[in-house]
Structure 1
Amino acid sequence: MEQTPIFFADGENPKMIEAFQKAQETFKFFWRELSWEYRRIIPALDVACVKLAFTQEIEDETVVEHMWINEIHFDGEYIYGTLVNDPGQLTDVNNGDEVKIPISQISDWLFANQGKTYGGFTIQAMRSEMGEDEREAHDEAWGMDFGDYNDILVAFEQKEKPENLIEHPMSKNMKESLIDFLKNNPGEINSKDESGYTFLHREAIAGNSTSVQILIESGADINAKTVDGKTALDFAKQLKWEHLLPLL
């Protein structure tokens, strides 16, 4: 994604506060989608970015700027990515910097498929206060269809297939492939990365119950802990993936 305008939110604006809250509550759907995007041979997303609140003390005052990052990774607690905005006042970050920010500082997220957007809560809050012509010009500038600002989607075909809110269709579709992969690569079942994350941790963070179930059936250790002492169940609870709790 190229340079995107920074929008400064008035902390007292109830619409923006509500947008921040909704973005934080639903961020797990963004990460679930992106976790599958990274496995696709042919990319499906036009854009995938997260807006974060960056803060800095300048002359004894806390300055906040909400800026977008892309090339995102998520470990269940921190979001990693590359800043794609030029800060207005902040001096401790620059466009192109790699950043690590806690999940509590999310102010928005957005992904788009074939020009149709998902998320974008702060953007929709702003669109709700525009006139029709202004909204059209705004959407044209982004080159995307933001749809109805009162009806924000978080998952593909969630209205036609409400089950997509519980389980990503790719998690089901890739079931046999995962079974075959684990049979051929048994060492992957409980191997850990440098931070102690296992395959099960990563699938739990992404909310993929089919994958979680197959991993457990294949011998994954549900009690495996990251370097910070987190189990897959801990992440499922933190992210409120309720459908994973009985499995873990």
Structure 2
Amino acid sequence: MLDSLASSTYNAIEQLHTVTDQGNIHQMTDQTLYAVEGESEIFQEAVASAKATFKFFWRELSWERRRVVPGLDLAAVKVSFGVNTSDPLSPSVEHMWVTDVDFDGENLSGVLMSEPHWVKSLAAGDQVSVPFVDLNDWIYVLGGRAFGGFTVDALRSTMAPVERDEHDAAWGIDFAEAGVIELVPPARGQEPLMFTRGLDTPSDRHALAKLERIEHPMSLNVQDMIEQGLEDDPELISDYDQSGRLLLHREVLAGNHDFVYALLRRGADPQATDSYGRTSFSLAQLAGWPRVITVLETGEPAPQFADQSVGFPAWPIGVGLVVIALSALYFIYFRSWLNGYSPINSYFLGSVGFATCVWVVGQGLVLCTGPWYFRLRERTPMWGNARALDLICTVGGFTIATWAYDLLTRYFLGFH
């Protein structure tokens, strides 16, 4: 699935992201930064946000590799490659997408997805490796839904609605509203966490703090299997991989607190260094995982974000609401109408009660059908303290239900 989806998006990716403007290379301390002349502030902002949130991409990939059946449709990073040419019209860098991503805390590596225009030493399908500072963006796709994609969103925000629809159709991916980014899928039955591209609002900061302090859902679900695996094969704790990293180093970098705690309890050495001479603590600081830093400092598990749940499904609650509301409609209203009398003496109270039951049915159906409503809701503007879609559905639903009550009363009883 990954290969087929990746190949289907090569042309769109090449068209949208491989051509850069003429630029200069600036040396700042020990890092090479590519500043592209004419590049708008929104693209610079997008790149900064992508780098700041890359850890969530990497955590998702750490669990994707443990899935028996792959869950992601696509996972890729966009990086800058220096252009070495005497052509004065060529850009200084070329931005290209890379898949099959690996990350060791210093460098990104993977497979180049498309043919370069300017970097003649590379071709699609080549193995490449670049320092993390050259990262421009990341994206993964789960169930057809895009997560990340900051520079993609910056580009979409400059388009007219028709052009944006054509862009999205070329990718074949469901993006959020322009200017809005999702970093991780929502837990079942919960609203998705939405971010602005600049990550600069109080809501953004609160949501980021939350994401940094909760476990990946797979970690919560497979912890017993992890514990059993470490008990059955203790050498997993002390063996270095081909890249010179311990399992502890890899889990620290991915932010998997519960896995790290399980390793520490079984004797993993937090002072052991990787091939770059870094300890687990320095890797945790580099990645920016507060709970992992705490457990390495204290040896005790760090509390999760207060409102994290293990993802209890909302559909049973939704089914319950639908059953209760439909039962009330039948026993209070329809049975009365069928027997030839008004269910409630007051027309006003009767219509309000009927509309309330219909509204509860609607709420139950939303909970039964997953997060689609919440995603659509986030694409509508705020009207006061509420989302436009919530107000439209509530007011529209009560209006239609009141009209239906009047119509049904006239039909069954011949009066209102």
How do residues 1-248 of structure 1 correspond to structure 2 at under 5 angstroms?
Answer: 1-2=6-7, 3=10, 4-5=13-14, 6-7=16-17, 8-9=19-20, 11=36, 12-59=39-86, 63-157=92-186, 159-160=191-192, 163-166=210-213, 167-248=215-296
Matches of 1:228 and 1:247, distance apart in 2: 22
Q: For residues 139-163 of structure 1, what are the alpha-carbon distances to aligned partners after superposition, in whole Å with 9 as ceiling and x for unaligned? A: 1111111111222011111755765
From the superposition, tell whether residues 174 and 164 of structure 1 become closer, same or farther in structure 2 (CA, over 3 Å).
Answer: farther
Q: CA deviation at 1:9?
A: 4.8
Q: CA deviation at 1:77?
A: 1.3
Q: CA deviation at 1:28?
A: 0.8
Matches of 1:136 and 1:50, distance apart in 2: 23
Worse-matched range after superposition: 196-205 or 160-169: 160-169
Contact conserved, 1:156 with 1:164, CA < 8 A, in 2? no
Matches of 2:182 and 2:49, distance apart in 1: 12
Contact conserved, 1:155 with 1:165, CA < 8 A, in 2? no
Matches of 1:20 and 1:192, distance apart in 2: 33
Matches of 1:91 and 1:43, distance apart in 2: 33
Aligned amino acid, residue 70 of structure 2? P
Q: For residues 154-209 of structure 1, what are the alpha-carbon distances to aligned partners after superposition, in whole Å with 9 as ceiling and x for unaligned? A: 11117557655532111121111111001100111111123321110000010000
Aligned amino acid, residue 41 of structure 1? V
Contact conserved, 1:179 with 1:214, CA < 8 A, in 2? yes
Identity of aligned residues (%): 38
Q: For residues 60-82 of structure 1, what are the alpha-carbon distances to aligned partners after superposition, in whole Å with 9 as ceiling and x for unaligned? A: 86621100011111111111100
Q: For residues 94-151 of structure 1, what are the alpha-carbon distances to aligned partners after superposition, in whole Å with 9 as ceiling and x for unaligned? A: 1111001111101011101111100001110000011111111111111111111222
Aligned amino acid, residue 211 of structure 1? F
Q: CA deviation at 1:50?
A: 0.6
Contact conserved, 1:9 with 1:16, CA < 8 A, in 2? no
Aligned amino acid, residue 19 of structure 1? A
Q: Which structure 1 segments of 5+ residues have no match?
A: none
From the superposition, tell whether residues 46 and 40 of structure 1 become closer, same or farther in structure 2 (CA, over 3 Å).
Answer: same
Equivalent pairs, count: 248
2:230 is paired with a residue whose SS is helix
Q: CA deviation at 1:246?
A: 1.0
Point out which structure has higher relative CO (alpha carbons under 8 A, 6+ apart): 1
Q: CA deviation at 1:236?
A: 0.8
Q: Quick check: which one's helix share is greater?
A: 2
Matches of 1:9 and 1:213, distance apart in 2: 45
Matches of 2:66 and 2:140, distance apart in 1: 16
Aligned amino acid, residue 16 of structure 1? F
Q: For residues 207-233 of structure 1, what are the alpha-carbon distances to aligned partners after superposition, in whole Å with 9 as ceiling and x for unaligned? A: 000101111011111111112211111
Q: Which structure 2 segments of 5+ residues have no match?
A: 1-5, 22-35, 194-206, 297-416
Worse-matched range after superposition: 220-229 or 199-208: 220-229
Matches of 1:146 and 1:165, distance apart in 2: 23
Cα-Cα RMSD: 1.7
Aligned amino acid, residue 235 of structure 1? L
Counterpart in the other structure of 2:333: none
Contact conserved, 1:46 with 1:112, CA < 8 A, in 2? yes
Aligned amino acid, residue 42 of structure 1? V
CA radius of gyration, larger in: 2
